[in-house]
Amino acid sequence: MIENVPAREEAETVHGPKPYSNPYVAGFGLGLVLLSAFVVMGRGLGASGAFSSLIAAAANAVAPQHTAANEFYAEYLGDGSRSPLLDWLVFEVIGVFAGGLISGALAGRIAKSVERGPSISKRRRLIFAFVGGALMGIGAKFARGCTSGQALTGGALLNVGSWAFMMMVFAGAYATAWFLRRQWK
Amino acid sequence: MSAPLFKFGLFGDNISLVLAFLIGIGFGFALERAGFGSARKLMGQFYLTDLAVFKVMFTAIVTAMLGIFYLGWIGFLDVSLVYLTPTYLLPQIVGGLILGIGFVIGGYCPGTACVAVSTARIDAISFLAGVIAGIFVFGEAFPLLKQFYNATPMGQITLPDLLHIPYGVVVFVIVLVAVGGFAGATWVEKAMAGRKGVQQS
């Protein structure tokens, strides 16, 4: 067994995941993608909006009268001439899944796992992920966008609400970090 | 002026969806390259061990901001045709706080969670299920939340409009702040790595 250890380590350095990109290189690439959205479409990137369209479409399929009476859903459903899923952000987010898959596959980083610190159980981590996601969904709707649609897009456009939002995201996250340290450290 | 291309009628809705998919691929690719498909990498930002979130985000913001500024300046891009989300200050402040809290509890934001799902992170699937649940709760409660959602409207407003400072000056100041921030972030990472070394020894 002991003899196998160096061999395995060697194998990992050959076939293991490649290191992540330099943050400034990745950031520059991300900035160019955002700029291309501005130049080509006249709009920025997004993520949470696609999930809103998905929910509005699902709710509309189940209870059309209910969604017609709700202004939030109505905004995503439009006039009904076109499926709410034939939406720019929905297609963009499908692309995000594909882009992540391509990059992850090329770098050997696709690995089934639950991301967590050493002192939290998998089950607990999955519950926390769900709760955090739910808060994120609610927060993104109040803010009219998430990290993509507000912080990134609005940040580059010098949008007042986006900059206020971005400061508050960092404030909220740093204020919470101490209480959640057992999940990550 | 010839851009934004879509607004000048160079292509229609169907082509725009194809372009959305392609732009999304670029977006997802960049996020995954940055390491943002990993919740532990993202959370390094809030435990000050790895400030990649700040570095990547601000590099992207500065890149796109300078790009729009110069493309507008040379007359290629009509900046006024790029959609600006209207500001509703109070709900955006509260929304930002809730989102920040959710970030540290959940470990991702919606965009990074998509990339994490693509690289087989099971917790990201749980996170996205949470996002869907959260938006559904918001949608169902919208009649109650509507008043607050529409509170403190300021219209489509940029920092140069608000501060009465020329566009180019604001851009320049943000570049300076970002460069200073990058230096500060690297210093913090080194300081934290040093502290960790002391604790372990």
Q: Are residues B26 and B45 in the same domain?
A: no
Q: Which residues of chain A have pLDDT under 70?
A: 1-15
Q: Are residues B68 and B107 in the same domain?
A: yes
Question: In terms of CA atoms, which chain A residue is nearest residue B37?
Answer: A100
Q: Which residues of chain B have pLDDT under 50?
A: 201
Q: Are residues B3 and B79 in the same domain?
A: no
Q: Are residues B13 and B104 in the same domain?
A: no
| pLDDT at B198 (0 to 100) | 62
A8 vs chain B: nearest CA distance in angstroms?
23
The token pair that represents B129 in the structure block = 């299920």
C-alpha distances (whole Å) from B54 to each of A6, A22, A24, B179 are 37, 13, 10, 11
Q: Are residues B46 and B126 in the same domain?
A: yes
| pLDDT at A12 (0 to 100) | 47
CA–CA separation, B195 vs B197, rounded Å?
5
Q: Is the preceding peptide bond at B4 cis, omega within 30 degrees of 0? A: yes
CB contact under 8 A, B110 and A59: no
Question: In terms of CA atoms, which chain B residue is nearest residue A36?
Answer: B23
Q: How much is the ipTM here?
A: 0.95
| pLDDT at A185 (0 to 100) | 84
Q: Which helix (H) or strand (E) holds B153?
A: strand B153-155
Residues of B in contact with A73 (CB under 8 A): 139, 142
Q: Are residues B147 and B64 in the same domain?
A: yes
Single-letter residue type at A153 = T
Q: Are residues B124 and B57 in the same domain?
A: yes
- Total structural domains within chain B: 2
Q: Are residues B14 and B108 in the same domain?
A: no
Q: Are residues B101 and B190 in the same domain?
A: yes
Q: Are residues B163 and B180 in the same domain?
A: yes
| pLDDT at A14 (0 to 100) | 57
CB contact under 8 A, A37 and B96: no
Residues of A in contact with B35 (CB under 8 A): 20-21, 26
First to last CA, chain A: 30
Q: Are residues B55 and B123 in the same domain?
A: yes
| pLDDT at B195 (0 to 100) | 82
| pLDDT at A80 (0 to 100) | 81
CB contact under 8 A, B4 and A41: yes
Instruction: Please give the residue range of the domain that contains residue B22.
Output: 1-33
Q: Give which of A73, A163, A77, A138 is closest to B173, Cα–Cα.
A: A163
> What's the pTM?
0.93
Q: Are residues B44 and B133 in the same domain?
A: yes
CB contact under 8 A, B46 and A173: yes
CB contact under 8 A, B85 and A149: yes
